[in-house]
């Protein structure tokens, strides 16, 4: 038993089924084996652009909480670097969309996306503690990191034109960023009350469920 020093590891073991569901989803496996339907990829691209625009204020709300609640000023530096990366990410979505002929201004958000964005908005409330919010933040980033890194592993047959997308989240720098977010989350979870721990665990599961729904939507399943 790890005790409280690596709560994230404890939870990932306990909830491994849903975690694997989010990080080894058929949408990702289709990219990895080269069988991805390009209309699914374009649907994901357009919907994720909308998601990322909602993700920016969510990260801004965490920056504010880190400034107010964290005992370590380096938390803020990491979150700020994440915000800067999101600025690049938005520019990347625009150029990638024009490459694929996807008109971002006319995209209608699907229900799974709206539900996920609404969930993010609920986490922006000042009532949500920094510990809970940073756990959610780590989980959201980690799902993309683990998913897209899987598409770049030896033996994968990811189509050439999708490799840049996989690199965006599957690169080692993003992996290091996710590990740093996980360390911050663990540090705060170690000091948290049992009540706070239960809240963070529930939110982690909700994130994983939303990620699965998002992939399902991208595959055109809902």
Ligand X SMILES: Cc1ncc(CN)c(N)n1
Footprint on this chain of ligand X (rule: CB under 6 A): 48, 51-52, 55, 140-141, 143-144, 211, 214
Nearest-CB residue for ligand X: 144
Residue among 162, 168, 159, 35 at smallest CA distance from 99: 162
Q: Closest CB to ligand X among 200 and 208?
A: 208
Residue among 107, 123, 131 at smallest CA distance from 191: 131
Active site residues: 211
**Nearest distance from residue 61's CB to ligand X, in Å?**
15
Structure tokens at 88: 């690049």
Q: Closest CB to ligand X among 41 and 55?
A: 55
Q: Closest CB to ligand X among 19 and 214?
A: 214
**Nearest distance from residue 21's CB to ligand X, in Å?**
14
Q: How far apart are CA 218 and CA 129, in angstroms?
A: 31
Cα–Cα distances in angstroms (integers) from residue 122 to residues 63, 95, 102, 118, 132, in the given order: 16, 30, 29, 6, 12
Q: What is the three-class DSSP state of 107?
A: coil
Residue among 33, 30, 41 at smallest CA distance from 156: 33
**Nearest distance from residue 193's CB to ligand X, in Å?**
28
Q: How far apart are CA 190 and CA 125, in angstroms?
A: 23
Q: Closest CB to ligand X among 66 and 217?
A: 217
CB–CB of 77/184 below 8 Å? no
Distant-in-sequence contacts of 68-71, Cβ < 8 A, 24+ apart: 68/130, 69/129, 69/130, 70/130, 70/188
**Nearest distance from residue 8's CB to ligand X, in Å?**
17
Q: Closest CB to ligand X among 130 and 144?
A: 144
């Amino acid at each position: 038993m790890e005790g409280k020093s690596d709560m994230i590891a404890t939870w990932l073991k306990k909830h491994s089924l849903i975690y694997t569901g989010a990080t080894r989803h058929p949408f990702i496996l289709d990219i990895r084996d080269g069988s991805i339907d390009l209309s699914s990829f374009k649907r994901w691209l357009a919907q994720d652009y909308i998601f990322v625009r909602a993700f920016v204020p969510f990260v801004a709300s965490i920056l504010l909480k880190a400034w107010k609640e964290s005992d370590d000023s380096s938390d803020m530096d990491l979150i700020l670097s994440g915000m800067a990366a999101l600025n690049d990410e938005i520019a990347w979505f625009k150029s990638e969309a024009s490459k694929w002929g996807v008109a971002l201004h006319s995209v209608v958000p699907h229900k799974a996306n709206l539900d996920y964005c609404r969930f993010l908005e609920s986490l922006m409330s000042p009532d949500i503690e920094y510990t809970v919010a940073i756990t959610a933040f780590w989980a959201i980033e980690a799902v993309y990191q683990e998913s897209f890194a899987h598409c770049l592993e030896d033996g994968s047959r990811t189509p050439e034109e999708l490799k840049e997308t996989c690199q965006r989240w599957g690169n080692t720098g993003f992996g290091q960023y996710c590990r740093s977010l996980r360390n911050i989350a663990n540090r705060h979870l170690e000091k948290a009350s049992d009540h706070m721990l239960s809240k963070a665990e529930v939110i982690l599961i909700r994130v994983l469920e939303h990620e699965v729904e998002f992939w399902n939507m991208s595959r055109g399943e809902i």
